[in-house]
Amino acid sequence: MEVFSDYASPVLAQASALWTDIVDTYSAQRIEFVGTLMVQVLTFWLPSIVYLLLDVIAPSFSQRHKIQPAPKQPTRSDIVRCFIVVTQNQILSSALHLGLIYISGKAGSGSSYRVTASFPSVTEFIRDFAISLLLREAMFYYSHRLLHIPFFYRRIHKKHHKFTAPIALAAQFAHPIEQIFANALPISLPPQLLHSHVLTFWAYLAWELFNTATVHSGYDFFRNKAKMHDLHHEKFNLNYGSIGFLDWVHGTDNLGKRHSE
């Protein structure tokens, strides 16, 4: 433990000095916007591309973990179309984020989150991270259930369910309304309401993006998480949530083979 502590302390000091330099050099708005884009690239785009390339770079490993058989997999044109739609949705989300940052700046708050030279305390980090996860679960679960009402499903959510055998990028293959109200806001709003430190927000965002890419990847690596969401894309009427708590509360975690829509 002492060896680890001796190693960790200078690393933490260097990280703290680097972060202080960033905060002193750039505006809070620029830090928030650029940092958020970097998190998206590193924890959503990069893992999604790796998952797509697994068939090529590790074919035997890919076949061992792939959930659905080859005939059900999306075609190359489906993947290209997915890439285009997800890029459009990310541009939309980034534009709205930029607008929110501009409004926050005009209102004098500087940033949607707290940008300070000091790191958040461990207690604050764990508290805000945990509360954000729970709030996101509630917002995502109920908005997702709402999108499965036939009126909204046909007009909005059906697009996302085009991928009955999903791929990682398909996590954001969605109608623009769904992208804003079911994908983006349930992630960004909780730490904004808590006025979390931007570093806490980035850690939470990284977790959510990597998690959603993984559960849509079509590969089952982590205790059936991907298999559960894969089943949602196949059956439509179960496993609506992210962490599974509200599915357990509402009994939508074991509805068997009954179909909706």
Structure confidence by residue, pLDDT tens digits, 236-248: 777 888 888 898 8
DSSP letter (8 states) at residue 136: H
Residue 206 has pLDDT above 80, yes or no: yes
Query: What confidence tens digit (pLDDT) does each residue in 135-167 have?
Result: 999 999 999 999 999 999 999 999 998 887 778
Query: What confidence tens digit (pLDDT) does each residue in 59-80 have?
Result: 888 888 788 776 678 889 999 9
Check if the beta carbon of residue 138 is closer than 8 Å to that of residue 242: no
Q: In the prediction, which pLDDT does 110 show?
A: 67
How many whole angstroms separate alpha carbon 134 and alpha carbon 236?
23
The letter for the amino acid at 111 is S
Question: Average pLDDT of the chain?
Answer: 87
- Identify which has the larger pLDDT, 94 or 107: 94
Check if the beta carbon of residue 12 is closer than 8 Å to that of residue 181: no
DSSP letter (8 states) at residue 103: H
Q: In the prediction, which pLDDT does 9 show?
A: 74
Measured CA distances, 217 to 39, 97, 150, 254 (Å): 19, 26, 26, 22
Q: Identify any residues that bridge with 66 across adjacent strands, giving them in sequence order.
A: 219
Q: In the prediction, which pLDDT does 242 show?
A: 84
- Identify which has the larger pLDDT, 242 or 21: 21
pLDDT bin (cut points 50, 70, 90) of residue 2 is very low
The letter for the amino acid at 107 is A
Residue 260 has pLDDT above 50, yes or no: no
Name the residue with tokens 């750039």.
26
pLDDT bin (cut points 50, 70, 90) of residue 4 is very low
Give the tokens for residue 254.
């074991």
How many whole angstroms separate alpha carbon 196 and alpha carbon 112?
9
3 state DSSP class of 214? helix
Closest by Cα among 172, 160, 164 to 218: 164
Q: Is 201 left (phi over 0), alpha (psi -120 to 50) or beta?
A: alpha
State the pTM of this model.
0.88
pLDDT bin (cut points 50, 70, 90) of residue 223 is low
The HSE-up count of residue 171 (CA atoms within 13 Å, CB side) is: 27
